[in-house]
Amino acid sequence: WIRTRQGPQADEHTPLMLRLSLLLLVGPLDALRVAVTGAGGQTGQHAFRKLLALPEFEPVGIVRSEESKAALVKSGVPADAVTVADVTDEAAIAAALAGCDALIIGTSAKPAPSGETDESTGRPIFGFPNGQPEAVDWLGQKSQIDGAKAAGAIHVVLCSSMGGTDPGNMLNALGRESLPDGSTKGGDILLWKRKAEKYLIDSGVPFTIVHPGGLLNEPGGKRQLVLGVDDERTVGERSIPREDVAEVLVQALRIPAYRGRSFDLRSMNEGEGAVTTDFAALLDELGGRDCDYSLGKMA
């Protein structure tokens, strides 16, 4: 809803652009309250900090531990802008999202070397020490979507990953364990992510789904960005700086045309093409296309 300090009230489904228009017409409004999960991580933290710098937003960073909150506060983030809640705890995440108008989902299971080696390949074996993809990327994201819907959110922006059209993508093998009966358990991160994406699409909540390519820890705002669908790669690299991904997540909240869209996000090499600054025009690259969920496989 819009809680005006002066001027008319608007109902809870008033879109962001109308809210911004009212800001010009009737004076200051309370900012759009946006929750950002994964705010103590990398891409999620970039998005959280960008929102903190924009007066039309009142961001709430949601982190998994008190240690993550303390690190953000030590870096200068106001303590009252950070909430601790584990996304795998359905009740806790619902409480954290209460009163929020929008949500950026920036959580993901994170693989790490287990210390063991695959005897057949000599390669390190990876696991998910802080939660398997089923728990984090499916059940955790489902809880976030349900919580946002219960809060009356008008937009959910989901940061996912490229690779979802290929069940054989090597990322799905990380953390997967073969059992004596020939079945497997664990892993399949892209399959669980894709299941959460489809759940969001079917939820009825206005959405934007972004599939970044390989994430780079390099400065943003220095490259031409490239949109596509279904893991295509016609121009550009298969990677993108995290900060550029965060910028698109934020712009999706500001530009109504991003609602109801699902797309891949990559970049050109730095120095190639023109640096992207017009994010409405960027969306035009899709020509109305969106990712096809009949492709690939879901968990």
Contact 291, 211 (CB under 8 A): yes
Give the whole-angstrom CA distance, residue 5 versus residue 286: 39
- pLDDT of residue 11 exceeding 70, the answer is no
Mean pLDDT (the chain, rounded) = 91
- CA distances from residue 223 to 107, 191, 266 in whole angstroms, order as listed: 25, 30, 10
- Quote the pLDDT of residue 19: 55
Give the whole-angstrom CA distance, residue 150 versus residue 174: 34
Contact 282, 276 (CB under 8 A): yes
Indicate the pLDDT class of residue 15, thresholds 50, 70 and 90.
low
Decide if 143 is catalytic. Answer: no
Indicate if the alpha-carbon torsion angle 198, 261, 95, 43 is positive or negative: positive
Mean pLDDT over residues 231-259, rounded? 96
- pLDDT of residue 171 exceeding 60, the answer is yes
Among the ranges given (21-25, 53-57, 71-75, 285-289), the one the predictor scored with the smallest mean pLDDT: 21-25
Question: What are 207-228's pLDDT values in tens digits?
Answer: 999 999 999 999 999 999 999 9
Please count the other Cβ atoms lying within 10 Å of the Cβ belonging to residue 59: 27
Indicate the pLDDT class of residue 18, thresholds 50, 70 and 90.
low
Q: Which two tokens stand for residue 100?
A: 């929020």
Of 161, 183, 267, 294, catalytic: 161
Instruction: Tell me the sheet residues that pair with 209.
Output: 158, 262
Residue 268 gets which letter from DSSP? Answer: P
SS3 55: coil
Give the whole-angstrom CA distance, residue 106 versus residue 47: 9
Mean pLDDT over residues 6-15, rounded? 42
Q: Which two tokens stand for residue 141?
A: 């994201």
Please count the other Cβ atoms lying within 10 Å of the Cβ belonging to residue 246: 27
Contact 34, 57 (CB under 8 A): yes
- pLDDT of residue 91 exceeding 70, the answer is yes
Mean pLDDT over residues 23-30, rounded? 50
